[in-house]
Amino acid sequence: MDKKVGNRDNVVPVRRKKKSKPVTGREIGILVAAVILLFGILLYVFLEGSMDTILVEGNETYTQDEVEQVIRESKMNNTIFFTVLSKFSKNDYLPFIDRAEVRFLGMHAVMVEVHEELRAGMIQEGSGYFYFDKDGMVLETSDTRMKDVPLVSGLKMEDCVLNEKIEPREEGVFAIILKITQLILNYELPIQEIQFNTLSDIRLVTTSITVKMGNSSELDAKMAELPSVLKELSGREGTLNMANFTEENKVISFMDREVEEAQAQAQEQVEAEAQAQAEGQVQEEEQGQEEQQEQEKEQDQGQ
């Protein structure tokens, strides 16, 4: 009988699992030594890396003490841990700090470079000031009025609430406020107050000049022209009228404060004289009525 020979190509070799080598005492010793070394390094960093000095740069409205205080209140008092963790967060410690960059200066000192977000404006309620950003969000309240932030006045407002948008009662005012404040920031205008007497009588106030803007039409053109006009009027005081200004028809007039005061005094005098004349006429009429009554009385008695 013929012996059948199997096809070796179809045979799958079976690999035997290698037996794992037992961990030697030497390897355990190395692992323990590494853990101890790592723990020692962390303990050294924790004990020796006390954050004694915090230097701050880039701050404009916030003080060194304000930034340092809020960092220390975070309970992070280790220079190395603080520097490493700062790489993974925005570090917006205060409402108008957009971000901050931390640099390691040594085991006991760090440098914090802050990038502040400009306050678009503020609204006064009682003795307090509510500061809002370019989106109209109220981010900060304070009893202090910052000189470089324009005050928005003359509005009928709902109560200002921290971390909520300002809500004027008049429709459409909110968009006008944000547009004006953003243009003030863009052109770096020295505006201290934005007055909304009515929607057709908006005024911008600097330390020496009141700008009559009229209504909100042509705001972009008016605000673009304003920096050069204010520069020409440097050192003068008075009222700048841009109510009829358009990009095609650049009508601007200016009246010095002295002329304004003289005209105001003349107007007051005219009004006072008119009032005195009116009062004199009233007195004459009353006197005439009294005389007539006396005559009628005498006639009645004669009869």
User: 108-157, pLDDT tens digit by residue?
Assistant: 888 999 888 888 889 988 888 999 888 888 989 989 888 788 899 887 77
- Residue 247 CA to residue 237 CA, distance in Å, equals 25
Cα–Cα nearest to 102, from 86, 89, 116: 86
Element (H, E) at 253: strand 253-256
User: 50-98, pLDDT tens digit by residue?
Assistant: 788 889 998 888 888 988 888 888 767 778 778 888 888 766 678 888 8
CA 117 to chain centroid, in Å, comes to 7
Structure tokens that stand for 53 in this block: 């000095």
Question: Who contacts 211 (Cβ-Cβ below 8 Å, separation ≥6)?
Answer: 203, 204, 205, 226, 239, 240, 242
pLDDT value of position 253: 93
Whether 44 shows a pLDDT value over 60: the answer reads no
Total residues found in the chain within this entry = 303
Give φ, ψ of 256 to 5 degrees: -65, 150
Give the sign of the dihedral formed by CA 255, CA 258, CA 259, CA 262. Answer: positive
pLDDT value of position 47: 54
- Residue 261 CA to residue 239 CA, distance in Å, equals 11
With contact defined as beta carbons under 8 Å apart, do 254 and 241 qualify?
A: yes
Contacts 24+ apart (CB under 8 A), 213-221: 213/242, 213/243, 214/242, 214/243, 214/244, 214/245, 215/243, 216/176, 216/179, 217/246, 218/245, 218/246, 218/247, 219/176, 219/179, 219/180, 219/183, 220/183, 221/245, 221/246, 221/247
User: 3-39, pLDDT tens digit by residue?
Assistant: 444 455 555 555 555 556 666 767 677 777 677 766 6
pLDDT value of position 15: 58
pLDDT value of position 1: 46
**Amino acid found at 105:** L
Question: Who contacts 210 (Cβ-Cβ below 8 Å, separation ≥6)?
Answer: 203, 204, 238, 239, 240
